[in-house]
Structure 1
Amino acid sequence: MSEPCLIDFLEASPWRTCLGDAQMDRVHADSSLRGFAAGSTVCLRGSPAMHWLGVADGMLKVDTIAADGRSTTFAGVPAGAWFGEGAALKGEPRPYAVVALRHSQVAFIPRATFLWLIDDSQAFSRWVIDQLNARLGHYVALVESFRLRDLTTRVAYSLAELYNPQLYPGTRRELVISQEEIARLCGLSRPNLNRELHRLEEAGYLRIGYGAIEVLDLDGLQRFSRSG
């Protein structure tokens, strides 16, 4: 992605309306865009949180690896989303790793610029608070989904949360995502994921395509994901 596309991405971001032109001039000057191949690490667990991150293209996952080698995925991050506010605010090492699920373009805004925006714009500060609140709700529901609910509900939740209006406002009804990628997000094997997707398809919530999932009934999928 070229530099003009970085500017387009920044200008289309949901927090853009919180800032004036002079504030955006600094964002444009300080930001950078980097490409990551599928499977590559964007941020290591324990690395300094020196940037606030946005997904200009592709999809990332936020996860951690236990001492026994098992990986737990906390979230999928689709194109158009921004994340990492908490780590950037605290200035502590990241408690998670960020990995590209497919070839992705990631925007980096330096922590100093991010903190300056919070101090300089009350509207931006409020947007960040809303973002943190939505993310907290996501993680609470994620723990409940993985511990208390059956596999079908877990898959439904992992897909429905990609449409969280605060965290991921730009997600389209047709998700260009492979079953392997969904399996990684849900923490399931590919065969188990395939079985659960077909159950959701039979219920009328989605349609399975080649390398894509089309969500037919988002409201129903979201209700089902919270009902297990």
Structure 2
Amino acid sequence: MRHQPNAADPFALICRALRASTLFAEWPLASVERLAKTARLEQHKKHTQVLAADRERREVLVAVSGCVEVSRTSADGSRFVGILMRAGDCAGLVRLLQEIRAPYDYVVLEDALIVHVPSDALIQILNDEPILWRSVALFALARQRDNAVAMQQRVLSDLSTQLAARIVELLAASAISGASSPGRSLSLSQGKLGSMLGKSRQTINKELGKLSDRGLIAIDYGKIEVLDLPALEALAGSGSSR
């Protein structure tokens, strides 16, 4: 007998979250429900780290709400930010490969509700229903495309363009998580923004000043307010600042 959903039912919430995600959206309901029985739903507070106790735990993460930064930090403190997980996004798919060690950091930027899917349970369902591997392949190809675009932007774009793109991305994440304000502002330190782009706080301060001089943003201590979003989006997608 099919499970009857309830607004306060974690199982029903997990099912809805999986069906709303980019990875599982096309799955049959029965397959989603089978996977949901193996998953768990967890609330993660801002500034905490998901999987902090076991960074290599083999789970696929599906964001229900909030925003989570997926990054890696080297021994010398250099930091690379891969993606920002928002509602419907997935991360950790590489953990389906048992031989891959993936010590990523999942830092919560805005309070997040996340579905934790055990990799082994997911693999079992995929092997039982091989047609479902198609969704994994399409998801992986889309992620590869996004990574290629991001890499090209880092190589071919100047820092103003990269900075504009990051601010636009963070603003979108903030809006989806429900944390945005009418003034389109971000509570974000220049040091944090610098670490996202692999630049010093001083360099970021200089570039933010340029965007401010152009009337695109206003900067204050720990805060960036977007004044002209269309122009900032145009700069972010231009490939070079003009």
TM, length-normalised to structure 1: 0.72
Q: Distance in 2 between matches of 1:131 and 1:227?
A: 29
The counterpart of 2:165, out of the listed 145, 157, 177, is 157
Deviations 1:72-112 (A, max 9, x none): 22222222211111222345221422211232222111112
Q: Distance in 1 between matches of 2:96 and 2:119?
A: 6
Asked if the contact 1:175/1:212 (under 8 Å) is kept, the reply is: no
The counterpart of 1:74, out of the listed 79, 82, 87, is 82
Question: Residue 178 in 1 paired to residue 187 in 2?
Answer: yes
- The aligned residue for residue 64 of structure 2 is 56
Query: Which moves more between the two structures, 210-219 or 7-16?
Result: 210-219
Deviations 1:21-67 (A, max 9, x none): 22122122111111222222213598334211111121111112222
The counterpart of 1:34, out of the listed 32, 42, 52, is 42
Asked if the contact 2:161/2:236 (under 8 Å) is kept, the reply is: no
Q: CA RMSD in A?
A: 4.0
Q: Distance in 1 between matches of 2:167 and 2:134?
A: 27
- The aligned residue for residue 135 of structure 2 is 127
The counterpart of 1:112, out of the listed 94, 117, 120, is 120
SS in 2 for 1:63: strand
Identity of aligned residues (%): 21
SS in 2 for 1:30: coil
- The aligned residue for residue 18 of structure 1 is 26
What letter corresponds to residue 155 of structure 1 in structure 2? L
The offset of 1:200, in angstroms, is 5.5
- The aligned residue for residue 16 of structure 2 is 8
Residue ranges of structure 1 left out of the alignment (5+ in a row): none
TM, length-normalised to structure 2: 0.69
Q: Distance in 1 between matches of 2:194 and 2:85?
A: 14
